[in-house]
Amino acid sequence: MSADGKVALTVDQVVAGYVPGVDILRGIDLQVAPREIVTVLGPNGAGKSTLIKVIAGLLRVRSGGVRLFGEDISHLPAHRMMARGVGYVPQTQNVFPKLTVEENLEMGAYVRRSELRKGLHQAYELFPDLARMRRQAAGRLSGGQRQMVAIARALMLQPRLMLLDEPSAGLSPLLVNHVFDKVREVRDIGVTILIVEQNAKAALAISDRGYVLSEGQDRISGPAQELLENPEVGELYLGARKGLA
């Protein structure tokens, strides 16, 4: 598709799942433009994490395709993604706990050692806190600091696209905002970002656009501000929390 030229990520009618015969994703369509921050929302079980795993190459596409800047990446294994310019930050266990902060970052540049110095320099510039903690074991850091290590690690090879799986999970509201501020800084250095989140408000606040998944399909999409105000989004996604909101 020639139209892909100006699109960073295209998810085209993707069907995928874990157990044979059971599809979690049932024909998802999604596009992310270069330097955009796009958030995918949805209740538990809507297929958010499955979607990000498919894009990261951890789960096979049953049909449909995933393209990165027009290039088909649907059948690439996960360990090739980093070299292709996809940085992935998993939701949980996203650092190497026994390795030091700096060693974690080094692993981020594992496939291209020549980038190590540049990557470390950039990481410490973006996350000055990490420079102080470089010799500490990552497992000893707080949840927020660990999230920073995970993001910095995924950033080591100057990815074109960064995938974040629920970066706010388990963090206090103050830290959530801090993490999302950093995500915006990462975008500002030229990285396209796709976030999968439950915390709709915080994520949409920094996003350009959003998608709402439900039952393995993209139900609603639009500019972030519109989604925040959309009553249908509240019903589909925030419904369970109506009392709290």
Partner 1 sequence: MGQYIADGIILGATLSLGAIGLTLTFKILRFANFAHGELLTFGAYFALTLSTVLAVGAPLGTLSFGWGFILVILLAAVLTAVLAIVVDWLVYRILRRSDIVATIVIASFGASLMLRNIVVFIWGPQPEYYFHSIAIAKQILPGVRVTADEIFVVVLAAVLMVALHLFLTRTRAGKAMRAVSDNALLAQVTGINVQNIIRLMWVVGGTLAAIGGVFYGITVQVGPNMGFNLILPMFAAAILGGIGSVYGAVLGGMVIGLAESVSVFWIDPAYKPAVAFLLMFVMLLVYPGGLLGERA
Interface residues with partner 1 (CB under 8 A) are 56-58, 78-83, 88, 90, 93-99, 103, 106-108, 110-111, 113, 153
Q: In the complex, what is the shortest distance from the CB of residue 98 to partner 1, in angstroms, rounded to a whole number?
A: 5
Q: In the complex, what is the shortest distance from the CB of residue 82 to partner 1, in angstroms, rounded to a whole number?
A: 4
Q: Of 127 and 237, which CB lies nearer to partner 1 in the complex structure?
A: 127
Q: Of 1 and 83, which CB lies nearer to partner 1 in the complex structure?
A: 83
Q: In the complex, what is the shortest distance from the CB of residue 22 to partner 1, in angstroms, rounded to a whole number?
A: 17
3-class state of residue 166 by DSSP: coil
Q: Of 164 and 220, which CB lies nearer to partner 1 in the complex structure?
A: 164
Closest by Cα among 42, 33, 111 to 77: 111
Q: In the complex, what is the shortest distance from the CB of residue 51 to partner 1, in angstroms, rounded to a whole number?
A: 15
E strand or H helix at 218: strand 217-223
Cα separation of 70 and 8, whole Å?
8
Q: Cα torsion for 117, 69, 10, 202, to the nearest 10°? A: 40
Assess contact for 153 and 107: CB atoms under 8 A. yes
Q: Of 82 and 220, which CB lies nearer to partner 1 in the complex structure?
A: 82
Closest by Cα among 245, 240, 207, 237 to 42: 237
Cα separation of 220 and 235, whole Å?
12
Q: In the complex, what is the shortest distance from the CB of residue 234 to partner 1, in angstroms, rounded to a whole number?
A: 34
For helices 143-154 and 173-188, give the axis angle rounded to 10 degrees. 10
Q: Of 2 and 93, which CB lies nearer to partner 1 in the complex structure?
A: 93
User: 94-112: buried (b, 16+ CB within 10 Å) or exposed (e) per residue?
Assistant: bbbeebbbbebbbebbeee
Q: In the complex, what is the shortest distance from the CB of residue 1 to partner 1, in angstroms, rounded to a whole number?
A: 27
Closest by Cα among 75, 17, 26 to 50: 17
Q: Of 107 and 131, which CB lies nearer to partner 1 in the complex structure?
A: 107
